Structure formats: C-alpha cells, structure tokens
Amino acid sequence: MEYSTPQELERFELGYMNGLERVKWFSHRSVIYENIAFEYQLNKMEKELEEH
C-alpha cells in the first residue's frame, strides 16, 4: 500500500480548500444574478400592468 507524504497531503488540502472557496464564490454570484433577473422580470410585469 502506498502512503502520501505530509507535503502531498498539505498540497491536496490547499487545492481542495481553494476549490471550495471558488465554488462558494460562484454559488454566491449565481444567487445575485438570479435575484437581478427576478427583479427585472417583476419590474417588466409591473410596467405591463400599469400600461393596461
């Protein structure tokens, strides 16, 4: 059985944590963009109702 060195484990952990932070960032951005799209659609519908 092959074992990893402490340096390899540390490198893997750092890479994993960096990847996790990127996922959190993109997830956060996704929520922001969804909210913007929702507000845009809501404003568009309100304008259409006001016109009629």
What pLDDT, in 10s, does the model give residues 13-37? 888 888 888 888 888 899 999 999 9
Instruction: Tell me whether residue 37 is in a domain.
Output: yes
HSE at residue 4, side-chain half, CA atoms within 13 A, is: 8
Amino acid at position 51, single letter: E
Instruction: Tell me whether residue 36 is in a domain.
Output: yes
Instruction: Tell me whether residue 44 is in a domain.
Output: yes
Which tens digits make up the pLDDT trace of 35-48?
999 999 999 999 99
The Cα–Cα gap between 1 and 8 comes to: 16
Instruction: Tell me whether residue 11 is in a domain.
Output: yes
Q: H or E segment at 22?
A: helix 6-51
Collect all residues with Cβ–Cβ distance below 8 Å to 30 and sequence separation of at least 6. Answer: none
Counted domains in the chain: 1
The model's pTM is 0.56
Instruction: Give me the domain span that covers residue 11.
Output: 6-51
